[in-house]
Amino acid sequence: MCSVVSGAVTESQSAHVVVVGGGFGGVACAKRVAVDHGVRVTLLDKNGFHQFQPLLYQVATAELTPSDIAFDLDEIFSEHGRVEVRTAEVTALDPTNRAVTLADGSMIRGDALVVSAGAQPNFFSVPGAAEHAFPLYSLADAERVRSRALQLFADAAADPSRLAEGALTFVVVGAGPTGIEIAGALSELVHDVMPARYPDLDVSTAKIIVIDHGDVPLNGFSDAAHDYAAKQLDARGVELMLGGAVTEVAPDHVAVSGGITIPTHLTVWGGGEKPAQIVAESGLPTGHGGRITVARDLTVPGFPGVYAVGDAANVPGDDGATLPQLGSVAQQSGDWAGRNILAALGGEERSPFEYHDKGIMAMIGRRAAIAEIGEHRHELHGRIAFAAWLGVHAALLSNIKAETSAFLAWAEEFYVRPGHRSAALLDPDTVEEPRIRWGRPDRTKG
């Protein structure tokens, strides 16, 4: 076994692979390498669980509990005795030596190093955004959005005069899939769920505003998808503010280009992401978006034995163009990196990554989904699009050893039973966000 001490590493004679990050890419890579019982794997993740990112918005709007989308990494690898899962934060990468430094100062070195460190929100230097916006890129983020939303409903029900201060005005920054999905889910929370809990609360003045500097929602989808999304959002009372840029995020308002100020106490940030901070500090070559540049075989040029996958990398497709940051891209690139690691350890040639394009998709709300399937982007709407969404997500879940039957049962209920929520999910007593200071500038966040 590999013994780890502060500042030193003793390697065993067997090959050792170090994987940074327990997301789709890291899990897939570790599982693939673990197929070869002569290779040891150390999987490092600061949380110790895999968070199923496609459903974060469902936790944020109290449709699911956090435990529904968090899967213990030890459990995922319970049948893989050669995989050691360590709940530890990686604070530095040493790609030259294929080593990492942990928060406790210890170091771990491998024969191969796989960087699958995921992403963090990119606030693009917008004043106040890092301090006051609510990003939606992790389970902790989703819980914070949920807590703030429930607090706002409870406070507005207790004192309806707070509606004038933006108590039920929700701003979403970004009209990509993250923004559109959370906007649709917030609309359901406002119009279908909370009126049953607070029957005396007038939600007719509630607003959900999506702000994006682009000209269409779901940029990257087809023109027909743009129109479909816009119509579905309009039917749900969601206002699209396109062609504008957020210039400031404050605790109690958002400023938009053109001199517009929107009173709000919940600004959900879906305006972009960038790799984890350790990537920028690693010395690895980076390209678009600050992500690691990789060759077609997912190795990092100039650093033998170092691979990068998922949201940490600019993963190339068959045509050389960078693939989008999708769960399926991360999972497939992680698996492929694992195959190439085994090939290299066995003295064989690595092969260029081949991505099986499952398409792009988004849920706009119950009975409103859109999917563009396969490399030719066959477009689907409504229930059939939901079925495609279901299939892709079930496949991702099965790869992390999750119970897909429970997921399928939940998803069917989600699609056909609007407005249903467990009382426990809507309990304002679970709010952990600092209380809002109504009637004066809110300085509770940050």
Do residues 268 and 401 touch, judged by C-beta distance below 8 A? no
Determine the CATH number of domain 129-271+360-430: 3.50.50.100
Q: Which CATH superfamily is domain 3-46+88-119+273-345 in?
A: FAD/NAD(P)-binding domain (3.50.50.60)
pTM over 0.85: yes
Q: What is the pLDDT of residues 192-233, one digit of tens each?
A: 999 999 999 999 999 999 999 999 999 989 999 999 999 999
pLDDT, residue 428, reads: 61
> What pLDDT score was predicted for residue 367?
78
Long-range contact pairs involving 47-51 (C-beta distance under 8 Å, separation at least 24): 47/22, 47/87, 47/139, 48/22, 48/72, 48/73, 48/74, 48/85, 48/87, 49/22, 49/73, 50/22, 50/23, 50/24, 50/76, 50/400, 51/23, 51/138, 51/139
CB 348 within 8 A of CB 330: no
pLDDT of residue 9: 32
Q: What is the pLDDT of residue 430?
A: 60
Going by their DSSP bridges, the two strands 246-249 and 253-256 should be labelled as: antiparallel
Give the pLDDT of residue 427: 67
Residue 36's pLDDT is 83
Domain residue ranges of the chain, discontinuous segments joined by +: 3-46+88-119+273-345, 129-271+360-430
Two domains, one topology: 3-46+88-119+273-345 and 129-271+360-430? yes
The parts of the chain modelled with pLDDT lower than 70 are 1-13, 403, 405-406, 409, 413-433, 440-446
Vertex 25, ends 21 and 27: CA angle to 5°? 70
Confidence (pLDDT) at 64: 86
Give the pairing of strands 119-121 and 360-365. unpaired
